[in-house]
Amino acid sequence: MRERNVVHRSAATTVLFVCLAAEASTGFRAEPFAGGYYSGDGGPATAAPLASVQGIAFSPDGDLYFADAADHRLRRIDKKGTITTIAGDGRPGFSGDGGPAQKARVNAPYGVALGADGAVYFCDLGNARVRRIDPSGIVETIAGGGQATPGVEPVLAIEAKLAGPRNVLLHPSGDLLVTDFYAHRVYRISPTGWLATATDGELKNPGGLTRDGAGAVFIADSGSRRVLRLWGGVLTPLAGLSGALAFKLPTGVAIDRDGRYHVADGNDPAWFPAGSPVRAHAAQEVAAAPDGTIYLARGGFLFRLDRDGILRHVAGSGDWGVRGDGGPRLEAHLQAPAALAATAGGAVYIADAQTSRLRLAGVDGTLSAIGAGPTESWLSAPAGLAVHPLTGDLYIADTGNNRIQILQADRGRRTLIASAGPGKLAFDESGGLYVTEAGAGRVLQQLPLGHWRVVAGGLDRPRAVAVAANGAVYIGEAGANRVQRIARDGARQSIPARAPLALALLGDRLFIAEEGYPGLLEIAPGSAPRRHLADVLEAPLDVIAMSDGTLLAADAVSRRVWRLTPEVLPPPQVTRLRVLHAATGEEGPFAPGQLVALPDAPPGEFRVNGQPQPASVLPGTLPPGSTARIDVAVGGEVVAEAAVEIVEAAPGLFQEGGILQATNEDGTPNGPDQP
């Protein structure tokens, strides 16, 4: 299924009603350039790209449900073998409660359980919640997201604070059992919505759950390498196992039609002798269908174990995260696009740090792999790319192998230099190569004749570099939270930025991708810093400038490369700010150092005379008799403002629950007659 491409526009302001005129500014229009979310919906499950199958469950009518933790989706396979998505869109996040599950976002979903009425319960592990999809398809949170600490005494499930809800099981009693992997507990949620611990027994990273016909619950306790039986609140080891027969990494457990226990036991499962009541499998999840048939999940594959011992392929194509070579670039999978480089002809190289693959997005709209096959054999976590401006050769920061490699069209591949943790690369116009070395704390330059020199040393995790047309070098120093600008004459300037990962220049406008912060930060002469497209670029890893004046940005959350086209935004609309005396609630005057209240202010940065201030406190240096300009800014753009009079003193009393009475030094009430 081809996804409709959505155009996003950046806006550095919050639009309110018009009060004051302002100048128009330049923003960006974002459109997908490469990467997509093809899921295989509507087709055979065996052809669907899956990443990490978890939480296998079955409905009473025979449909199979599971969670794909790494692809952030819940999937269903009907009796004909057709797969569909019932929640999630392939991007981690939290949204959608109260609305259709198909439009909701989830984050690393794991356990799944089916109610008799068709409701789907699942652990949204990355969001520390348990959620429910009702029979009409509406999703809601039923546990987690609160601050109450669960324990023996019940708390409202919706007010509880969960650490890592992993697996769920509906018990015949009506309770929903939940393993909390990080809190090392099993909880029970009553039908009325109360949550408490199900046992005081010792657990360590509990995972999958199942039950037998009598209602006893079995827990795969991965940290203790045991399978435990829970009955009446008491934990006991699975019968028939001795200490010498420990599991390797039990994460799931199921019981087949013959009463035999099947355990998902990691990649190297334990061995049990013939006749043992237990069988360990190389799998991360295991479940029993209503007829007792065993299903196993291995990575992105789902199998059925027939009675003859043969594994039958049920779902998974094996190409999640790497599919699409030779096809449309907007339908191809990317996992962690970490580095970009453009050729003179407009094609774009994309390095994927997670799959260690190198691919080329052609001007014809296709995406192809570089080399005879996957590049994992000679690349490891590439973090930087650059194309030589004169030869067209591709230079690669092979970060995991601590080296710089060159890919030449006519001579193949060779290593240029060993490098200590190389990151981003850049060329100047004459062909001088710049290399960031986070491990050595320096930036190197290779001169045109092949000699090397240290541009800057003693740096704290330098990870990004860009070179301006005038020869100025910009270095992103992640550990120091700054970008250093080194002019051609050696003069240095420090620009504040939070853990800069990548830099790009459009003329004299600097764009910065910051680790852990969405959007791109723009620094331009004569303008306040602005942030662009924070709603699109949730975790940008690289940004480059194209010859046509656009930017390309690689984003880890959306797993896409985006084209950012400059456009003129309408003038920001500014609201008049209401400023009140924090104690009296009156509109001024105000004194230096006074606390003020902004009852109608939109969210943003509080500033006085253009300078950010802590909380809503006026600077103590404001001169009495002056007028101060107070504003609220978003992304550096003013969205609300006011001018206030500053006087020498403006006393007032704070009140709570009535009028407070001040007293004089002699104990008499303060008032007009006794000041």
Give pLDDT, residue 654.
60
pLDDT tens-digit series, residues 161-193:
999 999 999 999 999 999 999 999 999 999 999
Give pLDDT, residue 603.
81
Tokens (6 digits) for 627: 């007028």
Give the sign of the dihedral formed by CA 8, CA 14, CA 18, CA 20.
negative
The number of residues in the chain equals 675
Give pLDDT, residue 308.
84
Q: How far apart are CA 5 and CA 58, in angstroms?
A: 34
- The phi and psi torsions of 151 (rounded to 5 degrees) equal -165, -155
Q: How far apart are CA 264 and CA 288, in angstroms?
A: 12
Distances (CA, A) of 274 to 252, 267, 279, 378: 21, 21, 9, 44
Cis (ω within 30 of 0) for the bond into 389?
no
Ordered structural domains, the chain, with CATH: 28-276+539-567 (2.120.10.30), 283-533 (2.120.10.30), 573-588+626-648 (no CATH)
Q: How far apart are CA 93 and CA 105, in angstroms?
A: 5
- Environment class of residue 483 by beta-carbon count within 10 Å: exposed (0-12), middle (13-18) or buried (19+)? buried
Burial 94-124 (b: 16+ CB within 10 A, else e): bebeeeebbebbbbbbbbbbbbeeeebbbbb
End-to-end CA gap in the chain: 79
To the question of pTM greater than 0.85 for the whole model, the response is no
Give pLDDT, residue 371.
62
pLDDT beneath 50: ranges in the chain: 1-6, 11-24, 244, 372-375, 656-660, 672
Give pLDDT, residue 27.
86
